[in-house]
Amino acid sequence: MNIKKAIVKVFSANFLQLISSLIVGFIVPIILSIGEYANLKTYALYVSYVGFFHLGFVDGLYIKYGGKNLDSIDKGVLKGEHTFLIMIELILSFILFIVSLILKNPIVLLFSISVLPIVLNSFYKNLYQATGKFDKYSRIVYIYTITYTILNVLLVFVFRSKNFIYYCLTTFMANLLALLVFEIQFIKDFHKEKAVITKDVWKNIKVGFFILLGNLAVIGLFEIDKWFVKWFLSTEDFAYYAFAVSMLNIINVLVSAISITFYNYLFTSNQPETIHQLKKHLLSLGAFSSLGFFALKWIVNHFIAKYIPSLDIIAITFAAFPSMILINGLYVNLYKVNKNEKKYFRVVVSVLIVSILYNIAAILIFRNTLAIAVATILTLFTWVTYSGIDLKSVYNDFKTFAYIMLSAVSFFLTSHLLGWLVGAVVYLMVIIILTYWYNREIYREILKTIEKLFSKAISHKQ
């Protein structure tokens, strides 16, 4: 599957996720109280670290099978790796379940039963992503997203539930259904194969552990702000901040479709000029993605008035899109493709330490959510600057730095000083001009694509 078809496949799945995020992201906060919503987001915060429970095994498979054809993989070994992972997750989930009973903590209990289905779905997604089977990857996303959306809609409109526990269970149930579908298919495909558990399973953990730690550190980077708000500010502050971040993630769902496909692609196209062009396209996409803020501003003002205090936070965090997509789409993938697992871990931990320092300063000096949001932006700028220097294959220039800063300043000014409609129009005009100056190639590619589609439409009519 070529890169354009892969992007279309993943983009369609992520577009469905976008619709789901819009529906769930807006209807659930309406019905839940601030306190219940804060509990729901606490569970989501715990779930973001569920990857730790495979001990790097899934990440090791991702590295092992990256760029390979799924049909050429030893099926007996793959079945053995699948069996080994299930055994690990059953043991760790049981231990966590016992801990939750001792602590008498319902959120930890919900987390303990969520570990197995989420990790095994990660096994399938990483396997299909690494081997370029984006049709199967997308199918997992479809099943999870549709189930998750339907369950949340039923809870809100049919059962009118105001208990956060049921909304947490929608994540578990959706993951469980997706897992059952792919487990049945796996059994059909591999029932004749004998599971072969070799010493390589420990090698997968050894190789993947640094990737795991790096990924957890990345999650920490994107979640550390929420932890600081949860620990040092009020429950209401946490709910408002978590809502703001969930709005950021709505737009990021589509943006991540690009980064998901690039890992497999970079194995065959790891050339400086190609990477430089990818970087410019990613930054341009990120700058245009910030436009989503203005639509969200209108929605919140008209339909979820109790979360209006979140708008100032959202107006800061949405300036992060160019940096976020560059980091997730290119820099992280380059470290993995180049087999620099330990270096990747060191870089991410270093940036995480910087992020902690920024957040400590924000709490000590300002003690509010806006300062925490600014600390997050500064962290991403720091990471982009450092990795741009560290990754020698990435060509850096003044125009790139200027584009990032000018797009961020433009967004800050239009989002804070203008109304949603005027702000959107002015920001769009500015970004169109800035992008033409920085990356006019993207406009040429768009025009070529439109011409091809137009030509096909004419030929079909004839």
pTM of the model: 0.75
| Angle ∠(285,65,91) on CA atoms, nearest 5 | 100
Which of 213, 58, 219 has its CA nearest to residue 130? Answer: 58
Instruction: Look at the alpha carbons of 289, 291, 295, 301 in this order and tell me if their dihedral is positive or negative.
Output: positive
Question: How many CA atoms lie less than 13 Å away from 296 in the CB half-sphere?
Answer: 31
Q: Residue count of the chain, please give it.
A: 462
Phi-psi region of 367 (alpha: psi -120 to 50; beta: other; left: phi over 0): left
One digit per residue, the tens of pLDDT, for the chain of length 462 reads 555 666 667 667 777 877 788 788 889 998 999 899 999 999 998 998 888 888 888 888 887 887 787 778 888 888 999 999 999 999 999 999 999 999 999 999 999 999 999 999 999 988 888 887 778 878 888 999 999 999 999 999 999 999 999 999 999 999 999 999 999 988 888 888 888 887 778 878 887 777 777 777 777 777 889 889 999 999 899 999 988 888 887 767 766 666 666 666 666 666 777 787 888 888 888 899 889 899 989 988 888 888 888 999 988 888 888 888 888 778 887 887 777 777 878 888 888 899 999 999 999 999 999 999 999 899 988 988 888 888 765 656 788 888 988 999 999 999 989 899 999 999 999 999 999 999 888 877 777 767 776 666 566 555
Three-state helix/strand/coil letters over the chain: CCHHHHHHHHHHHHHHHHHHHHHHHHHHHHHCCHHHHHHHHHHHHHHCCHHHHHCCHHHHHHHHHCCCCHHHCCHHHHHHHHHHHHHHHHHHHHHHHHHHHHHCCHHHHHHHHHHHHHHHHHHHHHHHHHCCCHHHHHHHHHHHHHHHHHHHHHHHHHCCCCCHHHHHHHHHHHHHHHHHHHHHHHHHHHCCCCCCCCCHHHHHHHHHHHHHHHHHHHHHHHHHHHHHHHHHCCHHHHHHHHHHHHHHHHHHHHHHHHHHHHHHHHCCCCCHHHHHHHHHHHHHHHHHHCCHHHHHHHHHHHHCHHHHHHHHHHHHHHHHHHHHHHHHHHHHHHHHHCCCHHHHHHHHHHHHHHHHHHHHHHHHHCCCHHHHHHHHHHHHHHHHHHHHHHCCCCCCCHHHHHHHHHHHHHHHHHHHHCCHHHHHHHHHHHHHHHHHHHHCHHHHHHHHHHHHHHHHHHHHHC
Cβ neighbors of 424 (< 8 A, separation 6 or more) are 291, 294, 295, 414
Report CA dihedral (171, 238, 259, 114) to the nearest 10 degrees: -20
